[in-house]
Amino acid sequence: MSLNEALRNITDVIFPPRCLGCAEILPQRSSQAFCPACKEKIRFITGSLCPICGIAFFDSPASDHLCGNCLESKPYFCLARAVASYETLILDAIHQFKYGRNISAGAALASFMAEFCFPDFDFTDYSLIIPVPLHIRRLRERSFNQSLILAQAIEKKYQIPVNFSLLKRRKFTLTQTGLDKKERKNNIEGAFAVTDNAKTEGKNIILIDDVYTTGATINQCAKTLIKAGAGKVAVLTLARVL
C-alpha cells in the first residue's frame, strides 16, 4: 500500500464520505455523491429532449423534437445537456457547494457529473473544455469557481484539456437570480471576451457550468467563442431549471 492510499484510508475513517442528501455515511472511498435511496429521488434528464438545448419533455410520448425557444431563436451553442433537474436534493447540494463554500461537496458533485452517461454526446468530437468564468470580483468573494471544479472532473474522465483563462468575464454583472429571461439576456450582453483567438480557432469546445437556467449566460459565452473562431460549442451542466 502506498503512502497516499494509507493517508486516504485514514482520512475516510476520520472524515467518512457522507451522502449529500441525507448525510448517511457512504462506503469508504466511495465516489458516489448520494446514497441509493437519495439517488432514487433525483430526476435525471433523459428520454425525449430538444436536440439543441436539451430541455426534457417528461410527459410527452413523442420522440426528440425542437422546443419552442429553439424554433424561435436558435442559440449559438450546437447542443446543451444536463445531468438532473435543479430541484430538491440537487438544488440543496449545489447550494452547499456554491454558497456554503463546501469544496468536498463540490468534488463529490463533480464526480457525479463526470460519471453520468450523456447518451447522445460524443466527447471524441471535442478537443477543449472551458468553464464559464467568474468576474475577478466574484471570484475573490467566493474564492473558487464552481464551474472549473466540475470541468476538471470531466477533463480527468475524458482526457480533454481544460483552459480556464481563455474565456474571461470582463464586465461585473448583477446576479442573474431573480431576473426574467429578457433581463438575464440584457444583463449578460457583452460580458465575456476571448483572451487569445488563436487558441479557439477551429476548436470544438465543451463549455461547463453548474446550472442552466434560461441559457442566457452560456449562450453569450458560446457567441463569444464562435465569434473568436471556434468550430462549435457544446454545453454540459450539472443541473437544469425545468
Considering the domain architecture, whether residues 2 and 61 belong to the same structural domain is answered as no
Considering the domain architecture, whether residues 82 and 21 belong to the same structural domain is answered as no
Report H helices in the chain: 3-14, 36-39, 68-72, 88-98, 103-115, 136-142, 146-158, 181-188, 216-227
Considering the domain architecture, whether residues 28 and 75 belong to the same structural domain is answered as no
Considering the domain architecture, whether residues 20 and 117 belong to the same structural domain is answered as no
Considering the domain architecture, whether residues 57 and 9 belong to the same structural domain is answered as no
* Residue-by-residue pLDDT tens, the chain, 242 positions: 444 443 344 445 456 889 999 999 998 766 689 999 999 999 999 989 999 999 999 877 778 999 999 999 999 999 999 999 999 999 999 999 999 999 999 999 999 999 999 989 999 999 999 999 999 999 998 999 999 999 999 999 999 999 999 999 998 876 666 667 777 777 788 899 999 999 999 999 999 999 999 999 999 999 999 999 999 999 999 999 98
Cβ distance 37 to 23 under 8 Å? no
Query: In residues, how long is the chain?
Result: 242
What is the rounded end-to-end Cα distance, in angstroms, of the chain? 46
- Secondary structure of 209-223 as H, E, C letters: EEEECCCHHHHHHHH
CB environment 104-125: b (16+ within 10 A), e (fewer):
ebbbbbbbbbbebebeeeeeee
Considering the domain architecture, whether residues 155 and 222 belong to the same structural domain is answered as yes
Considering the domain architecture, whether residues 6 and 70 belong to the same structural domain is answered as no
Task: Work out how many domains the chain is built from and give that number.
Answer: 2
Considering the domain architecture, whether residues 179 and 204 belong to the same structural domain is answered as yes
Q: What is the pLDDT of residue 70?
A: 96
DSSP letter for 189, please: T
Considering the domain architecture, whether residues 69 and 81 belong to the same structural domain is answered as yes
**Residue 26 CA from chain centroid, whole number:** 24
Specify the CATH number for the domain of residue 217. 3.40.50.2020
Considering the domain architecture, whether residues 18 and 95 belong to the same structural domain is answered as no
Q: What is the pLDDT of residue 27?
A: 84
Question: Residue 32: which domain range?
Answer: 1-41
Considering the domain architecture, whether residues 33 and 49 belong to the same structural domain is answered as no
**pTM, entire model:** 0.89
- How many Cα atoms within 13 Å fall on the side-chain side of residue 241? 10
Considering the domain architecture, whether residues 167 and 226 belong to the same structural domain is answered as yes
Alpha-carbon Rg for the chain, nearest whole angstrom, is 18
For residue 148, give the 3-state DSSP assignment: helix
What burial class does residue 180 get, using C-beta atoms within 10 Å of its C-beta: 0-12 exposed, 13-18 middle, 19+ buried?
exposed
